[in-house]
Amino acid sequence: MLLQSRDHHSTWASTEAIRRAGVTAETPDPEDGRIVREADGHPAGTFHEGAGDLFAHVRPATSTELAYQGLLRAQEELIALGITGWQDAMVGADVAGIADPISAYERALHEGTLAVHVVGAQWWVRDGGVDQVARMVARREAAAAAHPDRRLDLGTTKIMVDGVAENQTAAMLTPYRDETGHDTCNHGLSFIDPERLREYVIALDAAGQQVHMHALGDRAVREALDALQSAREVNGDPVGRHHLAHLQIVAEADVARFADLDAVANLQALWATHEDQLDELTLPFLQDGQEARQYPFGDFARAGVRLAAGSDWPVSSADPIAAIHIAVNRAYPESTQPPLGGAHQRLDLETALAAYTSGSAYVNRRDHDTGSIREGYLANLVVLDPNPFAVAPEDLYRTRVTSTWIEGEPVHTASLEPRTAHHTSHPKES
């Protein structure tokens, strides 16, 4: 038995699975992961981050047919939520047993079943080297030649800088605490040495490849910004529209650096609220004062940082309305909890909605024809009811997509069922 956590950052394995994988007490922790162990060193059954890859050679494979059917089903789900294009944050990965989504996208384009525009973020292998850049550029250019309409764009690279706070692998400037409130020696994991990260980002930027970095802890954010700063010093002003995603904790001193470096803050607003995963698995193990630094969206807006918004689906719901509600309220519908991080971290509705439309179009290099309603654009449109600007902020979640249009054609019409608070029950439920 092999199970993954819903955020894909931890794996649970049965004794038989551990035996088949050949993992023993002598198996060392990988640089980008941890094996939770019994007192004698034997694996206890929980494997964080890269340690889950120890099972890659024994887990069942995903067929290309299943991946294709999954793409079509996903497209149906996302269009119903008013999503007319997306960035897929993991394509081109050479992972045993996992079908590369690129083949599914290519088949959908060939068969005429892909209705949306997709930016595929090519996966950076953490223990690989800078030679990956040339392969990614070649794949990007091949896709551009095959799809001049950019229905499939491979001009982005996804780099995982750190893990997540729930399993204490997010890279922090300060140590995590233990169950008694005392400091540990654990500051989380930097999946890539900062010197190597700078080397890779400089090379990607020079090659015209957009860099999309998962940076969740404040140390990871700083390391990612340092890499972008090095790229600017070597290559000049960036043109890649590089972005940092998740941004759970950001040091105050680093907020303004986003605007200085033309780095886009890629927000997952659905997570910016009190909920069990945050309140039970994260906040008790952080330093005093770090609750106030959770998802500092308001700080970004006041510093003039360019914002984009996404979901990290299927880690959490892809519903933009549910996320916008939390971006504006910093709390669940009908919640009695105080706003996470304080009311000053709320976004106004116009800013939150722009992050999900023109902001996402900008970061995906589609702002010349999508993200706004104007003459000459593709008429990728969503009709909402009620008008979110005509309801109280605490009622935003009641707004729903009644129809979705792509290139001027209706591709989805909703049934008229009322939306209730139940639809946004947990930010990290897939």
pLDDT tens-place values along the chain, 430 residues long: 999 988 888 999 999 999 999 999 999 999 888 999 999 999 999 999 889 989 989 998 889 999 999 999 999 999 999 999 999 999 998 776 678 899 999 999 999 999 999 999 999 999 899 999 999 999 999 999 999 999 999 999 999 999 999 999 999 999 999 999 999 999 999 999 999 999 999 999 999 999 999 999 999 999 999 999 999 999 999 889 999 999 999 999 999 999 999 999 999 999 999 999 899 999 999 999 999 999 999 999 999 999 999 999 988 999 999 999 999 999 999 999 999 999 999 999 999 999 999 999 999 999 999 999 999 999 999 999 999 999 999 999 999 999 999 999 999 999 756 556 544 444 554 3
Token pair 């996992």: residue: 98
Question: Measured between alpha carbons, how far is 120 from 154 in angstroms, rounded to an integer?
Answer: 5
Q: Are 162 and 215 in contact (CB under 8 A)?
A: yes
Do the beta carbons of residue 132 and residue 124 sit within 8 Å?
Answer: yes
Instruction: Name the residue ranges covered by the structural domains of the chain.
Output: 2-55, 64-363
- Cβ(295)–Cβ(331) below 8 Å: no
SS (H, E, C) the chain: CEEECCCCCEEEECHHHHHHHCCCCCCCCCCCEEEEECCCCCEEEEEEEHHHHHHCCCCCCCCHHHHHHHHHHHHHHHHHCCCCEEEEEEECCCCCCCCCHHHHHHHHHHHCCCCCEEEEEEECCCCCCCCHHHHHHHHHHHHHHHCCCCCEEEEEEEEECCCCCCCCCCCCCCCCECCCCCECCCCCCCCCCHHHHHHHHHHHHHCCCEEEEEECCHHHHHHHHHHHHHHHHHHCCCCCCCEEEECCECCHHHHHHHHHCCCEEEECHHHCCCCHHHHHHCHHHCCCCHHHHECCHHHHHHCCCCEEECCCCCCCCCCHHHHHHHHHHCCCCCCCCCCCCCHHHCCCHHHHHHHHCHHHHHHCCCCCCCCCCCCCCCCCEEEEECCHHHCCHHHHHHCEEEEEEECCEEEEECCCCCCCHHHHCCCCCC
Distance separating the N- and C-terminal Cα atoms of the chain? 21
pTM: 0.91
- Which amino acid, one-letter code, is at 232? R
User: What is the length of the chain?
Assistant: 430
Q: Which two tokens stand for residue 246?
A: 């998740």
CATH 3.20.20.140 fits 64-363, yes or no: yes
Residue 425 has a CB neighbour count (10 Å cut-off) of 12
- 10 Å Cβ neighbour count for 430? 13
CA distances from 92 to 61, 144, 267 (A): 16, 15, 24
Which pLDDT value is given to residue 430? Answer: 32
Q: What are the residues whose beta carbons fall under 8 Å from the beta carbon of 222, sequence distance 6 or more? A: 173, 251, 254
Q: How many CB atoms lie within 10 A of CB 6?
A: 14
Are the C-beta atoms of 329 and 338 separated by less than 8 Å?
no
